[in-house]
Amino acid sequence: MTTVNYCPRCAAPLEEKDHNGTSRPTCGQCGFVYYQDPKLAVAVLTGVDGRVLLARRNHDPGMGLWTFPSGFVDRGEALEAAAQRETREEVGVEVSIDRLLAVRSGDGHPVILVAFAGTILHGEPSPGDEATEVGFFAPHQLPELAFPHDRDLIDAWLAGPSAMPAILSATVVPPAPPARFS
């Protein structure tokens, strides 16, 4: 699906053309190829005494379900700054960013999620504009989570600082078959 109909260089109409097996909007006049970039999002998992801080979403997707503070990175914004901003906006606390937890992507999904572990520095958790309530939950008493990957990210957070960051994919890529030599 083309989201841009006209060439940003010469204003000629764009048409779908194959580029190395991928259809991309291309200008027939000047040759410009439009690459639709993925959207980058961040998340912060933080808590107190082993209980994770979650917010109940007041919008779709996942309205009424629980997740950790997360949102999109603005153009030119550092990942860590975006993570701190989203946490402040959604649950009302200031956090330090302690470590990378995971990076998640999936075939056909336009969002790449970078999740961090954080420590609450100050503030009392309270719902921001995108939440109806906030709460701390023990890992064995989690409410219904908004997204399938939320449990995996909570598990990565619980693994602690000595654990390596996870690369989580919505699509399992099978290993290539062994090479055959004649």
Do 5 and 92 fall within a single domain?
A: no
> The domain containing residue 115 runs over which residues?
39-169
Average pLDDT over residues 85-95: 98
Do 56 and 108 fall within a single domain?
A: yes
| Segment 1-60, tens digit of pLDDT | 447 899 999 999 999 999 989 899 999 999 999 988 899 999 999 999 999 999 999 999
Do 51 and 72 fall within a single domain?
A: yes
Do 138 and 48 fall within a single domain?
A: yes
Please tell me the total count of domains within the chain: 2
Residue 174 lies in a domain: no
107, two tokens: 């075939």
Residue 147 has pLDDT above 70, yes or no: yes
Alpha helices for the chain (secondary structure H): 79-91, 150-158
Least confident range from 13-17, 63-67, 108-112: namely 108-112
Residue 177 lies in a domain: no
Q: Is the dihedral of CA 61, 68, 55, 172 positive or negative?
A: positive
Residue 146 lies in a domain: yes
Do 45 and 30 fall within a single domain?
A: no
